[in-house]
Amino acid sequence: MTTVTYSEYIASLPKILSGANVLFRDADGRVLIAETTYREDGKWTLPGGTVESDTGETPRQGAHRETLEEIGLDIEPGQLLAVDWVRGPGRPPLVSYLYDGGVLDEARQSAIQLQAEELSAWLMVTPSEAEPYLSPGLHRRIIAALDALESGTGTAELEDGHPARRA
């Protein structure tokens, strides 16, 4: 029998990445999407990014920090709309949290200031118009989040953007 220290045990566990985004809408039901400067596939995203859990940051705090950094809006994230277990080649699984950012009026939209190192443009588009801009999984996550928001059924549990299978 091999005895390991607690830190050795923790180091041996599988790694999971964590990200958090915020879903902003306008009065017409369009959603805010942003063009990144770093994605090789050219796909757009939502404001948000990696949760810095090594510093003690929570997903909600990460969503707030990333929104402030990326688009210059200091808005506390609202309801958790979706949690998605996202598999991907060449990396550990990602748990993606998607929060409600509420409805942005014209004044808030005018206040958007992009972080030039990461974002080059933003648009307000209908969910169907967003589809070609986004990865399929992110588009499905947005649709599930909007459905959860509209129906009031609570947080959508997803796997790769699809409703999680229940045993």
What pLDDT score was predicted for residue 165?
85
Examine the pLDDT at 63 and tell me if it is beyond 70.
Answer: yes
User: Per the structure block, which two tokens stand in for 111?
Assistant: 């206040």
Mean pLDDT score, 132-154: 97
Mean pLDDT score, 101-120: 97
What pLDDT score was predicted for residue 13?
85
pLDDT tier, 65 (very low <50, low <70, confident <90, very high otherwise): very high
Entry field: residues in the chain = 167
Contacts of 77 (CB under 8 A, 6+ apart): 20, 22, 60, 63, 64, 67, 99, 100, 101
What pLDDT score was predicted for residue 157?
97
Q: Burial level of 92, CB count in 10 A (0-12/13-18/19+)?
A: exposed
Whether the CB-CB separation of 162 and 82 falls below 8 Å is answered with: no
Distance of CA 99 to the CA centre of its chain: 7
Instruction: Of 96, 75, 94, give the one whose Cα is nearest residue 141.
Output: 96
Mean pLDDT score, 115-119: 94
pLDDT tier, 1 (very low <50, low <70, confident <90, very high otherwise): low
> What does the DSSP 8-state code read for residue 90?
T
What pLDDT score was predicted for residue 31?
98
Examine the pLDDT at 25 and tell me if it is beyond 70.
Answer: yes
Whether the CB-CB separation of 66 and 75 falls below 8 Å is answered with: no
What pLDDT score was predicted for residue 167?
62
Examine the pLDDT at 11 and tell me if it is beyond 90.
Answer: no
Mean pLDDT score, 115-122: 95
What pLDDT score was predicted for residue 166?
74
What pLDDT score was predicted for residue 59?
98
